[in-house]
Structure formats: C-alpha cells, structure tokens
Amino acid sequence: MAQLRRKLLDWYHRFRRDMPWRRTRDPYRIWVSEVMLQQTQVATATPYYERFVKRFPDVVTLADAPLDDVLAAWAGLGYYRRARFLHEAARVVAREHGGRVPTTAAAFASLPGVGRYTVGAVLSISVGARLPVLDGNVCRVFARWTASPLQAKRPADAKRLWSMAEALLPPAGGAAASGDWNQALMELGATVCTPRAPRCPECPVRAHCKAHAAGTPEAFPPVASRREVVKLRRAVALLRRGGDVLLARREGALLDGMWEMPGVDLAPDADAGVALRSALRALGVKARLADTSRRVKHTITHRAIEVEVWEATGAVTAPRRASLRWTDPASRTLALTALAKKVVAPAKRPRA
C-alpha cells in the first residue's frame, strides 16, 4: 500500500492541473470550489468560482449578501440548492462561529448542506485533517483497483468504499498530506482513469490495478440502468413592459428562489390557454394572452420539457409583491432559470 501511495502522490505532484482553488488554503474558498465541483466540470466551474470569490471574498460577505445576489452569481451552474445551502451555512458561520469557517469535522459537518464528502475534501485540503473523500471518480478508481462491482448508490457498497478510502489515507504523522492524497485520487479518476477509455498505459498505479491486469477496466464499476426520460408540457407568459419582462419567483424543492416567466405545468391533454390564464389570475396578473406558436425545448436531468410561449396582446398589469418583478433579463440582477433564459433569448436579438 505504501508503494501505491508513493507512486500516485509522485504522479500528482508532477502532473496535477493548476486550478485557482489549488493556490489557496483558505477553507472558505476551498469550500466554495468543492460545492461548485460537486455537479459541475472543472472547466465550467472555474470562471464561476473566480467571479464568486471576487464578489464574495469571505464567508461574512457571503452571509451578508441577499440570497438573490448569491443565486444571480450562481445562475447557469444549475443545482441551485447548492447555492442556497452555501448561503445558509455562511450565515450560520457568521452567527455562531464568529465568521470563521469551523475546522473540526463535527462542527463543519453540522452546517447546512455539508455532507461527508465536503467535510473530508475541505478539511483535508485546507488544514490537513486526516479525513477521506469519496466521489464518483474515487469510487471508479477503487472499483477498478479491486476489480469489484462496487456501486456507491448501494448502501453496502458505499460503506465498503468509505472504509477503503479511510484505510488508504496516509498514516498520521507521516510526510504525505491527506489533502494531497485525496486530490491525487480524484485527479487520477478525472484525467486518467476516466469512465470510458481509461489511459492505463499512462497510469502510475497500473501495477496495482486488478481490472487492468484482467484487461477489463471499463467493466468496473458496472453501469447503472438509466432512468427513462419523461416528457412534460409547460406554458409560460412572456409579458413585456418596455425592455423589461415580468418574472415570478419559483417555489418548491427544485428551483426555489430562481426567477422565470409566470407559467404552469400542463397535463398531457390540458388546454394551455385556460391553464395559463388561471395561473396568471392566481398571481393577480391581468393580461389578454395569445399563443405565439413558439415552442422551446428544455431538458433537466430526466425530464424533457416542451414549453409553449404565450404573449400579451395589450397592456399588462401586475400587482406589487415580492414574488413578481418587472426586470430587464439582461441585467443579471436576478437569477433566471436556464429555461427562462431560453424563452427571452430571441428578444435580445437585433430586429431585421
């Protein structure tokens, strides 16, 4: 095991990619990067990270910011629950920890949205805590090293994978840092031991890999069955006033706090006009609507949504309330859903 660890760490120190969050030991900044990277590729997350830490350079600035500002800075990264939890957790840090990110595992783990992976990643990298990490990359590497059909989604396998991650950590008091080790494992999975076509000839630890020895690296981990794509219908009202459009704040688990045109999900055989007018009435919005015949296609995870776009044929009145705003969608002051951006996109094009 010592040999495997040394080979992988040597490789990591020579070939690791330069990333902005690898140039700091600040637990707050490493935390931001880890939250962004949980569902997002490095190349996509990097400019968001740089803008985010410029706008919110420390945890207290983040805690003091309105949620709308935080969501606006996150807009486009998706999985907005991550931003809401980060903001909520920053407020707890400001209120209960004197504005310093707690660096004991128990205190950090008690913050909203902070799971075992985040605790291990942030504290091992920032303060050298001897804690393991387990993400999709690490799971794949472990499944291949052992040539075992381990799947992190199965509780018994997850337990075994976490035990492996713990057992492989560099010994306490040794020269190797747990943060480097954790990052080396993730880096190997991200750049060499990739899901398809792993680059085994370049792998620093191929001599220790059972799947490579068997010639079947891609058989591990076994591919989980894909969820079927569900087709959905939605109708939205694209209501304009000068350069502004009317936006409504979404509520509910998925896009809570994000903004988009007032709209309604439709049953397969529902009359879109009837349903949309009823949804607008419930919001207190008065408008005569007409179907533009424009259809916008949008996919979120396993849902393929076809959106019918309606517009007003005359003046629109909307009540003053916190969940409705007339806003220039190009101003980026509110966090628009990806769907809302698609719906307003043609309005930004110069007219012929």
Instruction: Report if residue 212 touches ligand SF4, rule: CB under 6 A.
Output: yes
- To the nearest whole angstrom, how small is the minimum distance from the Cβ of residue 208 to ligand SF4? 8
- What are the structure tokens assigned to 113, written together? 């949205």
In the complex with ligand SF4, which residue's Cβ is closer, 6 or 286?
6
> How many other C-beta atoms lie within 10 A of the C-beta of residue 84?
18
**150 lies in the site for ligand SF4, by CB under 6 A:** no
SS3 category, 311 = strand
Half-sphere exposure of 303 toward its Cβ, with a 13 Å CA cutoff? 11
3-class SS at 295?
Answer: strand
Work out how close the CB of 192 gets to ligand SF4 at its nearest, in angstroms, rounded to a whole number. Answer: 5
State yes or no: residue 221 binds ligand SF4 (CB under 6 A).
no
3-class DSSP assignment, residue 80:
coil
Task: Select the span of 24-32, 37-45, 193-201, 239-247 touching ligand SF4 (CB under 6 A).
Answer: 193-201
Q: Whose Cβ is closer to ligand SF4: residue 217's or residue 221's? A: 217
* Secondary structure E strands in 212-288: 230-238, 240-241, 244-249, 259-260, 263-266
Instruction: Please give the size of the binding site for ligand SF4, defined by CB under 6 A.
Output: 14
Q: List, by residue number, the catalytic residues.
A: 34
199 within 8 A of 187, measured Cβ to Cβ:
no
Q: How far apart are CA 37 and CA 57, in angstroms?
A: 18
Minimum Å gap between C-beta 206 and ligand SF4 is 4
Nearest residue (CB) to ligand SF4, 203 versus 245: 203
Output 30 or 168, the one with its CB closest to ligand SF4.
168
Contact between 193 and ligand SF4 by CB under 6 A: the answer reads: yes
Choices 34-42, 203-211, 267-275, 313-321 (CB under 6 A): range interacting with ligand SF4: 203-211
List the one residue out of 326, 325, 330, 327 whose CA is nearest residue 349.
330
Q: How far apart (Å, rounded) are the C-alpha atoms in residues 214 and 194? A: 17
Q: Should residue 70 be labelled a site residue for ligand SF4 when binding is judged by CB under 6 A?
A: no
Element (H, E) at 247: strand 244-249
Q: In 3-state terms, what secondary structure has residue 249? A: strand
Q: Report the nearest approach of ligand SF4 to the CB of residue 169 (Å).
A: 18
CB of 211 to ligand SF4, least distance (A): 5
Pattern 244-283, ligand SF4, x by CB under 6 A: ----------------------------------------
Does residue 141 belong to the site contacting ligand SF4 (CB under 6 A)?
A: yes
Instruction: Assess 219 for contact with ligand SF4 (CB under 6 A).
Output: no
Are 232 and 179 spatial neighbours (Cβ–Cβ below 8 Å)? no
| Identity of the amino acid at 153 | K
Instruction: Tell which residue, 139, 131, 121, has the closest CA to residue 21.
Output: 121
Residue 144 lies near ligand SF4 (rule: CB under 6 A): yes
> 138 or 324: whose CB is closer to ligand SF4?
138
Joined tokens for residue 125:
């990298």
User: Among residues 3, 58, 27, 18, which one has the least CA distance to residue 207?
Assistant: 3
- Find the binder of ligand SF4 among 35, 211, 235, 247 (CB under 6 A): 211
Binding site for ligand SF4 (CB under 6 A): 141, 144-145, 192-193, 198, 200, 203, 205-206, 209, 211-212, 217
